[in-house]
Amino acid sequence: MRVATWNINGLNARLPFVEHWLAARQPDIVGLQELKMVDDKIPHLAFEAAGYKAVTHGQKSWNGVAVLSRDEVEVLGRGLPGQEDFGARFLHVRARDLDFITVYCPNGKHLGHDDYARKLAWYDTLAEHLADVLDPARPAILGGDFNICPSPLDTWNEDSNAGDIFHTDEERARLRRLIDWGFTDVYRSLHPDTQAFSWWDYRGGAFHRKQGLRIDFLLATEPALQRVNAVEIDRDYRKKKDGLQASDHAPVIADLA
């Protein structure tokens, strides 16, 4: 079973690129973030033609998350309870015995902005909600754009970025709370010493300068982690394909037994 997460930065702009990737990588279940699209506009026919059913929690202009799946899934939650006014950022489904949750965590903008405090509060709500509805002894995958660099290895320049947005102790503590509850960062677990990024700014040639961040993760509970055979960041799909513009994020893909 191939699972993936990908912030596509606008479904309207990215649909042909997403179709290209689905055909090449053949995932079984995918969490998508930043649809920037209302539910009524979702191109269900295009997804069905590619072999996928789409479940979405959309919003006009910003945010929005989806799960694409080859098999039917049961929707367990649309929106993070108590945080709905911070945008469409949470979608929880069950695929057979696997809980699959996709999140687009708040960016926070900068430390002086109201959104930074709201980001921390959103994470607290997420941890509380998941502890209510999940069991760390059962298989679950939490995937998405977390907008946090977990450690110095996950940023192109910890020296210049330490203490800034994505790099604060307060944010890292929020991520650690999810880990302490029972999630494992699948990429870091299988590649403990590799510096690899999942996001590069469009500006300034950041991709070619290797100035990126690892902020997109697949987190797994122990029973799900035991099934993981491989995990990679699909850096090739951060590049243009057949003249189609890429997202500023690369997909993260894991293969489970």
- CA pair distance 61, 13, nearest whole angstrom: 12
CB of 95 to DNA, least distance (A): 27
Q: Could you tell me if 93 and 57 are in contact, meaning their C-beta atoms sit under 8 angstroms apart?
A: no
Which one-letter amino acid corresponds to residue 115? D
Whether 135 is a known active-site residue: answer: no
Residue 115 vs 158, nearer CB to DNA: 115
Residue 213, C-beta contacts closer than 8 angstroms, at least 6 positions apart: 149, 154, 155, 156, 166, 197, 198, 199, 200
CB of 51 to DNA, least distance (A): 23
Residue 107 vs 125, nearer CB to DNA: 107
CA 117 to chain centre: 21
Give me the catalytic one of 104, 123, 187, 237. 104
CB of 34 to DNA, least distance (A): 7
In 3-state terms the chain splits into helix, strand, coil percentages (rounded to 5) of 35, 30, 40
DSSP state of 79: S
Residue 15 vs 196, nearer CB to DNA: 15
Q: Could you tell me if 250 and 238 are in contact, meaning their C-beta atoms sit under 8 angstroms apart?
A: yes
CB of 159 to DNA, least distance (A): 18
Q: Which of 136, 154, 149, 146 is nearest to 226 (CA)?
A: 136
Give me the catalytic one of 52, 99, 123, 145. 145
Whether 39 is a known active-site residue: answer: no
State the residues that interact with DNA by CB under 7 A. 9-14, 36-37, 60-62, 106-107, 109, 115, 201-205, 245
Residue 100 vs 207, nearer CB to DNA: 207
- Tell me the CB-side half-sphere exposure of residue 144, using CA atoms within 13 A: 28
Catalytic residues: 104, 145
